[in-house]
Amino acid sequence: MLPRRAVLGGLVAGGLGAALAPFDPAFARDMLRVRVRQGLLRGRMEGGVRVFTGIPYGHAARFGRPVPARDWADERDATQPARAAPQPQDAGAVQAEDCLQLNVWAPAAPPPPHTRYPVLVYIHGGSNETGWSGAAMTAGDRFAAHGVVCVTLNYRLGALGFLELGGILGPAYAGSGNNALRDIILGLQWVRDNIAAFGGNPHAVTVAGESAGGKNVGTLLGLPAADGLYARAMVFSGGAQTINLPGDAQTFAEAVTRRLGGRERLLVAPFPAIVAAQAAVRRAWPRGLPFRPTLDGRFMPMVPLFRVARGQAPRVPLLIGSNADESRLFLTETQAARPLNSQSVANETMARMAALDQAYARAFPDLSGAERHWKLLTAEEYMMPGLRLARTHAAHGNPVWRYRMDLPAPGGPNKGSTPHVLDVPLTFDHVTLPIAGQMFGFSAAQQPMADAWHGAVLAFVRGGAPGSPGLPLWPRFEPSNHATMVVDRVSMVVDDPDSAERMLWGEPALVPLPQQIARSGNRLLG
């Protein structure tokens, strides 16, 4: 199995909202110097857009809740890379616990009078264990070139962001298992308070994420503390149900503490020792994605999907979907042909997966064992959680657009399939980067597809329905028809394209799901 941490770690003006005052005329005098609430920043011009990197938005003591970044007196150099959160591999940047930093790509020209540019805030993936805000594939320069202020931010990863220590270190550390989500919320608050200085509209913020980042965006829908900080959401290969119950969170925290050498080591050990301990425990953990938020009844009052099902989540437009062959990135054909491994399963019990494996064998008799497992694992972690979130959000009348990425990789180790992460260079319009070529065989030949998909995402971020000249008209997803944009060499809208699989999961009805979700809570948590 390819560790997902190794894979994912390497990775026009919009006058939305209320009318705003004219843009600061000082912009014209020195557009590379921007004053935010903490002090003066100096950025750089790169590729025709303004770039500001390594901006501190917060600070946190180890396992503590984040607080806003401290003010600085002198001009701050915002041309150096952001520091990466501590993680068990080379992130391509200096790793440090003081990693709550973000990057901003902004158009070079000021926005038209009484308007601001729409804003995209992107949450990186990496199994909540790896990744950082400065990966080349998710650089926001192409969004800025098309009139969007793009922000990418770091959050604490692994044990430092997701270890629930209230039962080990005492009440002062209760809730530490959700500190990474608190980091993200603090970053969104920074955007609310400061993005106008870059020409961005704080009332037109789209929060987006892919993989673990997509799951974290889905989780934000369940967190009252995040309400009002975003106007739109995009969930790429994610959902709203991958969380820890308190007992599992406690058990994992105790295992990491033992491996580290005891509770007295938690606050004093150097962070590489904590990263080594978490990696050792993760290798033996009988479930995928151990680093996940914790259902604590306070910060997270209920499973995020349940909050959506009850109609209590923000009524924001949602763009959501997944790739047809997500799990192929993590399992070779030989590995996929073996019996299902619990470490490949994110949400369901192994008993349920065994029953589903038999159901898939009956429903898809022409698939090999490896192909069947790829299909089942893709549905378990990505397709079904995303579909549930789309259905529950749309059931309350919220605008939802769903897609399924079927575009086959033209080269690379997964040639001919549509694995996890393939959509990312299309979303950010970076198909000509070397890493996109190495992973998927992308080159300038895929630029028309990138234009189509990036253009559709741009249209959504700008406040409308997703769409571009390279795609057919994209209707809203409704619980009664499941209209889905199937993105391929020739894209098309298909009603309920995943019906055969959906019925195997015991969710056959084309009706709203809130009552079904409420009745099946424990099963949906695995």
Cα–Cα distance, 494 to 474 (Å, whole number): 10
Strand spans (E) along 243-324 = 318-323
| 6-37 exposure pattern, b = at least 16 Cβ within 10 A, e = fewer | ebbbbbebbbbbeebeebeeebeeebbebebe
Helix H or strand E segment including 274: helix 271-284
For tokens 């084309």, the residue is 510
DSSP structure string for 221-247: TT-GGGTTS-SEEEEES--S---B-HH
Contacts 24+ apart (CB under 8 A), 434-441: 435/10, 435/11, 435/136, 435/137, 436/137, 437/411, 437/412, 438/412, 439/409, 439/412, 439/413, 439/414, 440/409, 440/410, 440/411, 440/412, 440/414, 441/409, 441/410, 441/411, 441/412, 441/415
| CA nearest neighbour of 110 among 51, 50, 53, 150 | 50
> What's the sign of the alpha-carbon dihedral 71, 73, 76, 82?
negative
Token pair in block for residue 440 = 């998927």
Residues paired with residue 67 on neighbouring β-strands, in sequence order: 59
Residue 455 contacts residue 470 (beta carbons within 8 Å) = yes
57-85 b/e (C-beta count within 10 Å ≥ 16 → b): bbbbebbebbebbeeeeeebebeeebbbb
C-alpha dihedral (281, 124, 50, 60), degrees to nearest 10: -50
- Strand (E) positions, 148-246? 149-153, 200-210, 232-236
Q: How many residues does the chain have?
A: 526
Residues contacting 106, CB < 8 A, separation 6+: 49, 50, 51, 52, 117, 144, 149, 150, 198, 199, 200
From CA 500, how far away is CA 496, in angstroms rounded? 9
211 labelled catalytic: yes
Q: Using alpha carbons only, give the angle 190, 235, 54 rounded to the nearest 5 degrees.
A: 35
Which residue out of 176, 211, 327, 344 is catalytically annotated?
211
Nearest to 386 by CA among 318, 329, 454, 452: 318
Q: Would you please indicate which residues are annotated as catalytic (active-site) residues?
A: 211
